[in-house]
Amino acid sequence: MSSVHQITVHNMRKELTTRQQELLDFLKITQSQTGVMPSTREIQAHFGFASQTAAMSHLRALEKKGVIVRLAGKARAVIFPEELEREEIVDIPLYGSIAAGMAEATEEEKEGCISIDIASLGIPRNSRTFALKVRGESMIDAHICDGDTVILEFREPRHMDIVAALIDGETTLKRFIMERGRPYLRAENADFPDLIPARELVVQGVLVGLLRSGRM
């Protein structure tokens, strides 16, 4: 039975059209780089489809050919058959904006939840994660842009981690630098200065994933 199933899947993969193969490659690359699948809106934009309905139609075609599996009731719930045993989709809270610019005071307000595959991100099952929207351009050299959403894990930071941090009462997204036993925050944009704490530096989360603007 197993060998028959393997042959069937192999034959179906041979029958992929050029566009279907391009979409499958896009799904794999996006998941590998960000830890989550692209939304139908991003698929539409990437391939120039007329609507999100057209993107869904292409996803259904891939599902019929056995190269992806769609899970009901989950956002971005597309996985590959070989990942069924390890896939763990969980909902994490999404909060308001965090400055990727000059640090500024913000109030965290929960705006809902997003679904992520924690296995793809390498996050332990019991880890605490959350998401924040990004404002500003101070992290563009790390490919984090205004409007993106970052996924963060509550844990101790390491040198060169990208973190959400509270510095002297204000919150920001920067790279965590430990130099001569003293921590400070570094932007990934030459137009922004380093942030050296005058009183306190509290890391609120460490970056583990990124959603490009438009995927939400």
**Catalytic residue IDs:** 138, 174
**In whole angstroms, what is the distance from residue 115 CA to residue 138 CA?**
27
Q: Residue 211 corresponds to which tokens in the numbers above?
A: 């959603």
DSSP type of residue 106: -
Distance CA 98, CA 167 (A): 13
Q: Strand, coil or helix: what is 136?
A: coil
Q: Letter for the amino acid at 45?
A: A
**Phi, psi of 41, deg, nearest 5:** -65, -40
In angstroms, rounded to a whole number, what is the distance separating the alpha carbons of residues 176 and 173? 9
Measured on CA atoms in the order 160, 167, 130, 190, is the torsion positive or negative? negative
